[in-house]
Amino acid sequence: MAKYEAVEVFEKYIHKIDKFVDILNFNKLLFYSFSIQIRNHNMKKYFLFGIVPGLILSACSSINPVSESRLKNEVIPLPVEIHAFDNYLKINDRAEIVGKNKDEILAATTLKSILSTYGISANIVANPTDESNIFFTSNAKIDSLGNEGYKLTVNQQGVSIVANKGAGLFYAVQTIRQLIEKDNKIVKIQYCNIYDKPLYKWRGLHLDVSRHFFDIKFIKKYIDNMSKYKLNTFHWHLTDDQGWRIEIKKYPKLVTIGSKRSETVIEKNFNPFIGDGVPYEGFYTQEQIKEVVKFAEQRYVTIVPEIEMPGHSQAALAAYPEYSCTGESCKVLTKWGITDNIYCPYEKTFTFLQNILDEVMELFPSEYIHIGGDEVPKTQWKKSDFCQELIKKENLKDENGLQSYFIGRIEQYLNSKGRYIVGWDEILEGGLAPNATVMSWRGEKGGIAAANAGHNVVMTPGFAMYFDHYQANPKYEPFAIGGFTPLKTVYDYNPMPKEISIDKQKYVIGVQANVWTEYMKSSQQVEYMVYPRLLALSEIAWVKPGQKDWNGFQKRLPNNFMLLEKYGINFRLPEPEIKYTIINENEFSLNIYSSVPNAKIYYSSDGSKPGNNSKLFKSELKMSLPDSIIAIKAIIQLPDGRQSNYTEQKVEKPL
């Protein structure tokens, strides 16, 4: 029997043996990795029938791996189960990656690209050779892994990655991305066995491109970097009062008129209005969108487009005013907020929206289409004879009921096309459409009600998941919309409210952070607001609450800060930490710590704001203790010149 035939026979029984090993409380990962190594290495068949049974028997007396330690480069998000060892696999200037099918080759190609950044030239082969040291195996049929889980083994034989689907292989590669170390010219990965799978199936990040527009290059970067932290849903907010950003061929005026506004309000100068006098525009062609969708699919990211209705529609009505209740012409909104101009529920309006959605569905294969449904002023509906007659005709209670009717009509159409709607929690008002998914943003109340009623829910409450909020003292931060959502608030959030009954918890399908861009004019500002909060988001979306550990998460940040810098992300630099100890009545010792590797620390003790001209902190200092209070201020600075905000610590003599 050839070695591969032997392995095929063996693997028919692997899952039954898995159960036996589970009973013995043995690490299934370590056991399963042997079957993969047998498949991938030129071992004699007697190994299969000699060593493997011995391994099973040894499980009775040896439960834990020998020389187990912590991973030096710990991973974000934290894997479900890790067994690490005090040894390393060295990868020289070449690597040979084994991948056969489409999913394996895609994962292998991703890993090859990562290795190239370390100066390693990798070769991808369909069948293993004596030179092979990285092995991908999909279609493993391990029920516990689901569609996105994986098993990763690194030992003296090489790297083995096992998953049921391509997504699992991809996420294993993202874990490897964080595990790779470079010590001088040596590239290495610590020996480990990792079993991993996500907590939630919807792990989302949103971007509003209506208030401020971002080009395709940045959209790709945004998707690429979110996928590195195992987020899988990109919510693309494409239309709003301030701009329509998607080409619809049947209605060309949506972009020739709806994508342009005459100017933009300056900060919060609403009343009286003060604009910048600068015309603003931008939209994506359908070819560009197809390009982005394909790019996202290669990273296992689903794009959920949002086409706002019935409110937040002034940009569309500026192009086609006949679909409003007044029929009056209007302009694309130049200030932030909401307006009374909304769609009127005429039959011709539903035809208009259905035609738009037809083109949207051709571009986006996602099973979900987001239809907004939030912040809908009913002023025009209350004044409209047509709307009032429709309320009576359909036996609706009021205008909230009319909104529910509107959403229900759209849902029926999308359901007929095999798609499902997602809407903000206002779609609960007047009654929820039968198959709708609720995105709970006004706190958790809407999500709790929807889940307990048997509807799918994505938790995205403003107090924890709005990344347009300040993340530190506004005095020192770039201008933002308001609110306060620091990194720890994001990390501490649990997307499963206790008010949801146990039998209904299955309806909470995920969690998402939202990035509204009223006050984010540049892609650099978007990145500043998103990172490092995205790292906390990735962990709460992936890890069970009982596994989370804020202190442990902080210890895992430095390695990832280095990666963010490598990826060219303009992440917010956390302020340094100042600590002091009184030695005696005349002296104190000063220490300043940075969580960002390779950063310089500058400090001052004379009350001035620290900067390049300040003192460079290198190691613990002994300083004189004055009679009055002394204020120590410090910042960190990256090699590219970027600086953190400063932090301050007052030191005074004890009484």
Range of 71-80, 531-540, 612-621 with top mean pLDDT: 531-540
Q: What angle do CA 36, 42, 43 make, to 5 degrees?
A: 75
Q: What angle do CA 490, 371, 417 make, to 5 degrees?
A: 125
Please state the rounded mean pLDDT for residues 51-59: 33
pLDDT at residue number 480: 97
Is the per-residue pLDDT at 56 higher than 90?
A: no
> Is the separation of the CB atoms in 242 and 333 below 8 Å?
yes
pLDDT at residue number 72: 87
CA distance 437 to 423: 6
pLDDT at residue number 58: 32
Q: Which residues lie closer than 8 Å to 522 by C-beta, 6 or more apart?
A: none
3-class SS of residue 261: strand
223-232, 271-280, 304-313, 578-587, range with the lowest pLDDT: 578-587
8-22, 38-52, 76-90, 318-332, range with the lowest pLDDT: 38-52
Please state the rounded mean pLDDT for residues 14-34: 40
For residue range 103-120, list pLDDT tens digits in order. 999 999 999 999 999 999
Q: Catalytic one among 103, 208, 240, 399?
A: 240
pLDDT at residue number 607: 84
Q: What angle do CA 378, 410, 238 make, to 5 degrees?
A: 80
Please state the rounded mean pLDDT for residues 591-598: 92
What band does 7 get if pLDDT is binned at 50, 70 and 90? very low
86-90, 93-97, 113-117, 498-502, range with the lowest pLDDT: 93-97
231-245, 257-271, 615-629, range with the lowest pLDDT: 615-629
Is the per-residue pLDDT at 99 higher than 90?
A: yes
CA distance 94 to 386: 72
For residue range 485-529, list pLDDT tens digits in order. 999 999 999 999 999 999 999 999 999 999 999 999 999 999 999
Q: Catalytic one among 41, 206, 237, 312?
A: 312
- Give the Å distances, CA to CA, from 76 to 161, 175, 527, 552: 18, 8, 18, 10
Of the two residues 607 and 15, the one the predictor is more confident about is 607
For the chain, percent of residues with pLDDT exceeding 90: 82
Domains annotated for the chain, with CATH where assigned, are: 3-196 (3.30.379.10), 202-566 (3.20.20.80), 577-651 (2.60.40.10)
* Per-chain mean pLDDT for the chain: 90
**C-alpha 437 chain-centroid distance:** 19
| pTM: predicted TM-score of the whole model, two decimal places | 0.90
Question: Is 235 noted as a catalytic residue in this protein?
Answer: no
Is the per-residue pLDDT at 440 higher than 80?
A: yes
CA distance 578 to 604: 12
3-class SS of residue 646: coil
Is the per-residue pLDDT at 216 higher than 70?
A: yes
Residue 413, number of CB atoms within 10 A of its CB: 16
Query: Which tokens sit at 530?
Result: 């998103």
30-44, 211-225, 572-586, range with the lowest pLDDT: 30-44
According to DSSP, the β-strands at 233-237 and 202-208 are parallel
CA distance 135 to 139: 14
> Is the separation of the CB atoms in 587 and 625 below 8 Å?
yes
pLDDT at residue number 69: 64
CA distance 632 to 236: 44
CA distance 21 to 56: 7
CA distance 465 to 532: 13
Please state the rounded mean pLDDT for residues 139-161: 96
Of the two residues 1 and 153, the one the predictor is more confident about is 153
CA distance 238 to 190: 43
Question: Is 240 noted as a catalytic residue in this protein?
Answer: yes
pLDDT at residue number 477: 94
| Percentages of the chain per state (helix, strand, coil), in multiples of 5 | 35, 25, 40
Phi, psi of 505 (to 5 degrees): -65, -25
pLDDT at residue number 68: 55
pLDDT at residue number 184: 83
CA distance 435 to 371: 13
Q: Catalytic one among 281, 375, 492, 549?
A: 375
pLDDT at residue number 115: 96
Is the per-residue pLDDT at 52 higher than 60?
A: no
> Is the separation of the CB atoms in 44 and 1 below 8 Å?
no
3-class SS of residue 424: strand
3-class SS of residue 196: strand
Please state the rounded mean pLDDT for residues 613-632: 91
Q: What angle do CA 68, 74, 77 make, to 5 degrees?
A: 125
According to DSSP, the β-strands at 243-244 and 260-261 are unpaired
What band does 603 get if pLDDT is binned at 50, 70 and 90? very high
pLDDT at residue number 637: 94
Is the per-residue pLDDT at 384 higher than 80?
A: yes
